[in-house]
Amino acid sequence: MIEQNEHIERLHPDGLTSLSKVADLYDVSAKTIRRRWESESSDFPKPIKIDGCNYFKNRDLLEYNENLQYETA
């Protein structure tokens, strides 16, 4: 399960974060992150591909993390 993470709040809104770093930030595997964005029932942000690697827009991660706060409150 992916839970709200205070480390996400430190990301610069205009930056990008790699799949492996996102997995580290949420303390889950990259495979779990992949399953989340591929699931139709999940609102986890979709990555963008740059040179064949997956990156997430930090702004999307910040928004997702904020929404998690409201879901668990």
CATH number reported for the structural domain that contains residue 31 in this entry: 1.10.1660
In a domain, 1, yes or no: no
The number of folded domains in the chain is 1
Please give the pLDDT value at position 40: 87
Please give the pLDDT value at position 73: 52
| DSSP E strand stretches across 1-73 | 16-18, 48-50, 53-57
Please give the pLDDT value at position 71: 64
CA–CA separation, 32 and 47 (whole Å):
14
**CA neighbours within 13 Å on the CB side: how many for 43?**
10
pTM of the model: 0.86
CA–CA separation, 54 and 5 (whole Å):
20
Which range of residues forms the domain containing residue 49? 6-72
* pLDDT tens readout for residues 5-59: 777 888 999 999 999 999 999 899 999 999 999 998 889 999 999 999 999 999 9
